């Protein structure tokens, strides 16, 4: 069996060492150092103070590029709290090409809502209601 990447996380050094020892009995292991990227998520670790930060900044830069929105103005809140969109808020004319592009954008925004950007979940949910 070949596994490309795996993650082991614990704050118990003894448990960590024993787990790797047990695993190495069955599988060939290699240590690649502190993890920097996993599934498109950048992982910034500071062992000195025990902190770990997850970011998908590059993912969003790539999305802006992909959808031709690199000049878009940033905002702190993806949608005003308690906003609920209605069908009347949707464009009246939505041709097949526009609808397809809109669906791709919404789909691309769903991925980070479950990882690093739960604050986007409500906005993405509201925007996806009338696809």
Report pLDDT for 1.
56
CB 90 within 8 A of CB 126: no
CB 41 within 8 A of CB 115: yes
CA distance 117 to 22: 36
Q: What is the mean pLDDT of residues 4-33?
A: 88
Decide if pLDDT at 104 tops 80: yes
The two tokens of residue 110 are 């769903």
Cα dihedral 110→108→126→99 (10° resolution): -150
pTM for the model: 0.75
Contacts 24+ apart (CB under 8 A), 62-66: 63/105, 63/108, 63/109, 66/108
pLDDT digits (tens, 9 = 90+) for 19-74: 999 999 988 888 888 889 988 899 999 989 989 999 999 999 999 999 999 999 98
Confidence of residue 116 (pLDDT cuts 50, 70, 90): very high
């Amino acid at each position: 069996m070949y596994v490309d990447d795996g993650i082991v996380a614990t704050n118990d050094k003894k448990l960590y060492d024993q787990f790797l020892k047990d695993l190495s009995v069955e599988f060939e292991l290699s240590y690649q150092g502190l993890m920097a990227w996993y599934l498109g998520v950048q992982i910034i670790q500071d062992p000195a103070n025990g902190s770990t930060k997850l970011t998908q900044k590059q993912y969003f830069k790539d999305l802006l590029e992909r959808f031709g929105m690199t000049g878009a103005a940033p905002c702190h809140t993806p949608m005003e709290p308690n906003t609920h969109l209605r069908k009347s808020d949707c464009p009246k004319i939505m041709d097949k090409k526009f609808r397809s592009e809109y669906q791709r954008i919404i789909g691309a925004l769903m991925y980070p809502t479950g990882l690093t950007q739960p604050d986007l979940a409500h906005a993405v949910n509201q925007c996806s209601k009338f696809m």
